[in-house]
Amino acid sequence: MADYFTHFSCLLDVGTPENAARALALYKALSEEGASEEPPSDGFLLSIQPEHGGTALWMRDDVTGDPERVIQFVLRCSEQFQLTGRWGFQYANTCSKPRLDGFGGGAHVLDLATRETIAWTYTDGWLASVLDGGDGDA
């Protein structure tokens, strides 16, 4: 049996060390929501990165993670701390055994001020589209 994983590692600067500390409470609430879902969300790990001035949050998977949960968290932080600018991250989908559907990934970019998606891509959908005769444009 194969195991499937989603890997990522990214930073979000929330402006001040106070905001970073407050973000931990937002993370806790989101994690509790994810645990009550059926099936529960894989979630992600979060820590404050002192080497980035104590204002950056490091989000990453623990064996596997949930990119959608990362996006939800970043949007909550954006609203709570009035963040602006663009933010994005990429993720990789992997498998413990060679499988035709076991590898891929994607990326997502948000406008933090409007809390809207600017662009996203998912390589599995892109590959299927091109193989079906498309040109690869979204």
At 25-45, the pLDDT tens digits run 999 998 888 778 888 788 999
Give the confidence band of 52 by pLDDT, cuts at 50, 70, 90.
confident
Q: Which whole number is the average pLDDT over 54-80?
A: 96
Beta bridge partners of 5: 94
Residues 48 and 14: their CA atoms lie apart, in Å, by 10
Q: What's the total number of domains in the chain?
A: 1
**CB contact at 8 A, 44 and 69:** yes
Q: Please report the pLDDT score of residue 108 as a whole number.
A: 97
Tokens of 65: 């993670």
Let me know if residue 113 belongs to a domain: yes
**CB contact at 8 A, 112 and 78:** yes
Domain span holding position 21? 4-131
Using the predicted structure, report yes or no on whether residue 76 has a pLDDT greater than 60: yes
Q: Which whole number is the average pLDDT over 80-102?
A: 95
Let me know if residue 137 belongs to a domain: no
Domain harbouring 43, CATH code? 3.30.70
Residues 122 and 6: their CA atoms lie apart, in Å, by 13
Cα dihedral 12, 107, 73, 83, rounded to 10, equals 50
Q: Please report the pLDDT score of residue 138 as a whole number.
A: 57
Let me know if residue 136 belongs to a domain: no
The answer to whether the predicted template modeling score (pTM) of the entire model surpasses 0.85 is: yes
Let me know if residue 69 belongs to a domain: yes
Whole-angstrom Cα Rg for the chain: 16
Percent share of the chain, pLDDT over 90? 75
Positive or negative torsion for Cα 117, 118, 124, 128: positive
Specify the DSSP class assigned to residue 64.
B
Let me know if residue 51 belongs to a domain: yes
At 98-108, the pLDDT tens digits run 998 889 999 99
